[in-house]
Amino acid sequence: HLGAPTQLAPADLFEELGSLFTAETVRPVAYDSKRTRVLLDDAGAGPLPDFSHDALLASYLIDPERNHALEALAPLVSIHLPEYESLTKKGRQKLDWDELDVTEIAPYAGARVRAALSLVELQRQELDALGLTRLFLDLELPLARQLARMQRLGVLVDIPRLRAISARIGEELIE
């Protein structure tokens, strides 16, 4: 980033912060744990602990119809988040993330972290009141972990079997 001091290489960063990613007592929270897991895996973070909360998943369970963007959820905990475009659009020019000055990015990123952390208690209470806590903890969070793994590794498709199923369904539709 412009104006940023020399950055640590990802491998060095994860070596320095390794205990945060490997300690059994650490149960991080996220907004979009699947995406976070994929990004950290891509950066070489290695094995990650299970997330204890995902504000995006919780939002979908609590109210599937609402806007689930973090910018829309943050006001629930009295936090205002600026739109991404307010940072990246300079007149007619649209800047990429890596073209922004670190002094602009740091408060933006910090506010997003504060919003995600602040949503945890409120969402846990709402999930409990709706009787959705077990679904969230036992199905949704583990499923997000598996979907991230599938996204990283890919999915093997049996093409001949898929063609056979397609042909059978096509015949059934004609009948």
What is the DSSP annotation of 2-59? BTPPPPPPHHHHHHHTHHHHH-TT---EESSHHHHHHHHHHTT--S-PPPSEEHHHHH
Burial class (CB in 10 A: 0-12, 13-18, 19+), 69: middle
Contact 118, 150 (CB under 8 A): no
- Residue pLDDT, tens place only, 27-36: 889 999 999 9
State residue 40's pLDDT score. Answer: 86
61/127 Cα distance (integer angstroms): 8
State residue 170's pLDDT score. Answer: 92
> Which of 32-61 are b and which e, b meaning 16 or more Cβ less than 10 Å from the residue's Cβ?
bbbebbbebbeeebeebeebebbbbbbbeb
The SS3 call for residue 96 is: coil
pLDDT higher than threshold 60 for residue 1: no
Residues 6+ apart with CB under 8 A from 141: 33, 50, 51, 52, 53, 54, 57
Of the candidates 142, 120, 8, the residue with the CA atom closest to the CA atom of residue 74: 120
- Residue pLDDT, tens place only, 76-120: 999 999 888 888 887 788 888 777 777 888 899 999 999 999 999
105 token code pair: 């990015």
pLDDT bin (cut points 50, 70, 90) of residue 66 is: very high
pLDDT higher than threshold 70 for residue 5: no
Contact 112, 80 (CB under 8 A): no
Name the residue with higher pLDDT: 24 or 106: 106
pTM of the prediction?
A: 0.78
149/145 Cα distance (integer angstroms): 6
